[in-house]
Amino acid sequence: MEQSQPKLHKSRQKILDAAVRLIRMKGYAATSVDDLCTEAGLTKGSFFHHFKDKEALGVAAAQHWTAMTAPLFEGAPYHGGASALERVFAYIDFRKSIIRGELADFTCLAGTMAQELHTSHPAVARASGDAITSHAATLEADIQAAMEESCKTFGFSAESLAIHTQAVLQGGFILAKSTGDLDHARDAVDHLRRYIELLFQDRSVAPAVSRVQHDSPLADNKNPGERT
């Protein structure tokens, strides 16, 4: 019942993939079990064989979400930064670079489900929260290291800033969804980047002169070739 991952049968996997796609696009309630089965090329009999009910699918989808995004970010080409701070910026630039195309292709399943289901299906919301938190945790080490490297004192923890990056992304997604303008999400990421630049800027030494240039991968914004 709880140990869902030991065997990842193909059908179950297909249902989960369908769930990620459709729920990201239409939301949880608007995605019917029939929709999922059609998308997965299966029938309801098999759906309810693999999942006790729709809520269980929601929980499993949140877990599947972390399972499928973790490799995406681990394999992303932003871990090559020399300093920890550069890796943090590379993460942010990467997050910005993938904001394009369809909303469902870059928005966050966990944020979507948490918002919609936090009252009606707390279990799904909790699983979604875990997904967000665990993803933020992958950033925390670099942020922590960057804070130590900078020899400054900060009024917040590395965890807090890591989580904040996710908050800004989630907020950007909502703006993009509500206006249809992807630039709103990109702007949010830009502000986030600027915030972190300012946080780590050494005010005693010459400000902004040398470092703005060397660590600005944004220069490639003209042709976003950062992601395959």
Residue 210 CB coordination number (10 Å): 10
Binding flag, residue 48, DNA (CB under 7 A): yes
Smallest gap from Cβ 70 to DNA, in A, equals 24
Q: Is 10 in the site for DNA (CB under 7 A)?
A: yes
3-state SS, one letter per residue, for the chain: CCCCCCCCCHHHHHHHHHHHHHHHHHCCCCCCHHHHHHHHCCCHHHHHHHCCCHHHHHHHHHHHHHHHHHHHHHCCCCCCCCCHHHHHHHHHHHHHHCCCCCHHHCCCHHHHHHHHHCCCCHHHHHHHHHHHHHHHHHHHHHHHHHHHHCCCCCCCCHHHHHHHHHHHHHHHHHHHHHHCCHHHHHHHHHHHHHHHHHHHCCCCCCCCCCHHHHCCHHHHHHCCCCCC
53: partner contacted, choices DNA, a second copy, none (Cβ within 5-8 A by kind): DNA
Residue 201 interacting entry, from DNA, a second copy, none, C-beta within 5 to 8 Å by type? a second copy
**From the list DNA, a second copy, none, partner contacted by residue 43 (C-beta under 5 to 8 A by kind):** DNA
Residue 48 binds which one of a second copy, DNA, none, with CB within 5 to 8 A depending on kind? DNA
Select from DNA, a second copy, none the partner in contact with residue 38, using the beta carbon and a kind-dependent cut-off of 5 to 8 Å: none
Tell me if 12 contacts DNA by CB under 7 A: yes
Q: Residue 53 or residue 220: which is nearer to DNA going by CB?
A: 53
Given candidates 17, 21, 25, 33, which one binds DNA under the rule CB under 7 A?
Answer: 33
Note whether 47 binds DNA by CB under 7 A: yes
Q: Which of 21, 26, 39, 46 binds DNA (CB under 7 A)?
A: 46
17 binds DNA (CB under 7 A): no
User: Residue 128 and residue 104: Cα distance in Å, rounded?
Assistant: 17
Interaction of residue 179 with DNA, rule CB under 7 A: no
Residues that bind DNA (CB under 7 A): 7, 9-12, 29, 31-34, 41-50, 53-55
